[in-house]
Amino acid sequence: MSSPPPKPPQRVPTLTEVIGDMPAQSAPVPAPSSPPRDAALAPDALLAEVWLQESRIAARVIERLQPRIDVLFEHRLREALAPMVSRVCMAVAEEARKELAHKLREAVEQAVNEELGRHRDA
């Protein structure tokens, strides 16, 4: 028999609370001799660069996946549309059959009436 799942905590601490609760370091961290490359860039410029790289990567991934997406989309679209197209085709064929039968009856009726008229006149 399994035990019931543990209850989730009532409150989850934030990152600043966790860092604030950490004990202070005993030895000071030495300052780097030269600032890192990223520190020289302004935060906005760094964010813009990251966003630009992310956009380029996303564009490349989409470009690479596009042929597969197209095939999958076409397959799914055909699957979804096939029953509807079949029903529409059957309805159009039935309507055409009815219209053709009606026109054929009219043509036969007209031909019979003309033939009867010829025999009466003769």
How distant is the alpha carbon of residue 64 from its chain centre? 17
Question: What residue spans define the domains of the chain?
Answer: 42-121
Ordered per-residue pLDDT tens for the chain, 122 residues: 567 777 777 776 666 665 555 555 555 555 555 555 555 556 788 888 889 999 999 999 999 999 998 999 999 999 999 999 999 999 999 999 999 999 999 999 999 999 999 888 76
In angstroms, rounded to a whole number, what is the distance separating the alpha carbons of residues 113 and 119? 10
Alpha helices in the chain (DSSP H): 15-21, 37-40, 43-121
pLDDT score at 5: 72
In angstroms, rounded to a whole number, what is the distance separating the alpha carbons of residues 68 and 74? 10
pTM of the prediction?
Answer: 0.40
pLDDT score at 119: 87
pLDDT score at 95: 97
Compute CA distances 53 → 36, 46, 85, 109, whole Å.
20, 11, 45, 79
Which residues make Cβ contacts (< 8 Å) with residue 41, sequence separation at least 6?
Answer: 49
